[in-house]
A = this chain, B = another copy of it.
């Protein structure tokens, strides 16, 4: 009945901290100290740890992480498709995966996912609870929820989204919103509170939930039930009233020895992202911030992996610890395998751009290596170093497929006569013959 947090506070370095330290190329002592303060979490359920889990650190002392959501819905998908999505997500670099299944066979899908996954698995327990209740949220008693959290903890879920922050007395703040409440769990809890005219039971039973989380070392992912679902609703009173409650839950969760991360928006225009990141860090005392996008405009359904990758890059740069991907299908339908791939790659770009901008040690090495391969016309090395070698090669090979072009000093974009890097090479040869470019500084016309 210990957690990474309690171990760290006791001054101990766990094997999981060691693993994270090696993966991140930082010292185990730093990992321990960051975990002890709560600024770094290692979501590692003891059950999953006994299985295939390779521990992952999430926090500002480590690289920026990305999460991929998979899971079926009542309308579509089965367990085989979900395992394919898991494989795709991990292959292209997802650091954690959430199983958000709300359709059939939730239990068996989750078991297979946990058994197969080397990355931490997150869930939103209210979904399965609601399925088992028969779909009527008003029928929920707090014990139903506690039981479901315990059930999933026993299965090995590493972190859970629980919407503790949405309070009865804040519901009215959403009245004038353009898109109301857009968190599924948040809207369910809101409906329950409306029906019973009682306070959020996930908040009133927070300490009981902590006891279960602590038992298995499940990490809190404090859900933002009031996150904005449109640019119009961004940074409003409803959002920030909930954030204050999440800040209190963060402190209480830490007090009770559980690891805590905090979820964030959503839809936020570019000019409000930095403020949002800073406000969360202040209110939640540096707890890892786990944001969904955010989307920086609402006008591009079908391309929301891009609208949100823009916001995610900004968020990562300004302090988000993990970026929850959005796929091209967002707002339109359940993502399929290809959507998972597109979402993961867009978010690897955002997370990496954030690492480069934050000047995380070594972050730029891969950029530099790829740029050197580019300048050296080593096409195969360029492909190898890219996030999606297969696609990069396929695009190149569309016009110049022959092997001989893999060392050609040009591509079809400019052709042999107009390649600026080839011309630069020629200039450098000329410079060497003329005694160097440096001398030219003294000989302008």
Chain A residue total in the interface (Cβ 8 A): 132
Asked if residues A399 and B75 are in contact (CB atoms below 8 Å), the reply is yes
Shortest C-beta distance, A205 to chain B (Å), equals 12
Give CA–CA (A296, B221) in the complex, Å: 29
Enumerate chain B residues within 8 angstroms of A232, measured Cβ to Cβ. Answer: 364, 367-368, 371
Asked if residues A424 and B181 are in contact (CB atoms below 8 Å), the reply is yes
Q: Mark A401-444, 1 if CB is under 8 A from B, else 0.
A: 00000000001111111111101111110110010111111111
CB-contact partner of A194 in B330, B335, B349, B430, under 8 A = B430
Give CA–CA (A74, B408) in the complex, Å: 15
Q: Mark A173-199, 1 if CB is under 8 A from B, else 0.
A: 011001111111011101100110111
Asked if residues B367 and A180 are in contact (CB atoms below 8 Å), the reply is no
Asked if residues A231 and B364 are in contact (CB atoms below 8 Å), the reply is yes
Shortest C-beta distance, A96 to chain B (Å), equals 20
Give CA–CA (A423, B181) in the complex, Å: 8
21 pairs, A vs B, C-beta closer than 8 Å: A73-B412, A74-B417, A168-B444, A179-B424, A182-B421, A190-B424, A199-B444, A204-B445, A231-B371, A296-B313, A298-B374, A299-B352, A301-B395, A303-B387, A303-B391, A305-B306, A306-B349, A307-B353, A310-B350, A314-B314, A332-B411
Give CA–CA (A367, B300) in the complex, Å: 9
CB-contact partner of A445 in B190, B199, B356, B412, under 8 A = B199
Shortest C-beta distance, A382 to chain B (Å), equals 6
Asked if residues A353 and B181 are in contact (CB atoms below 8 Å), the reply is no
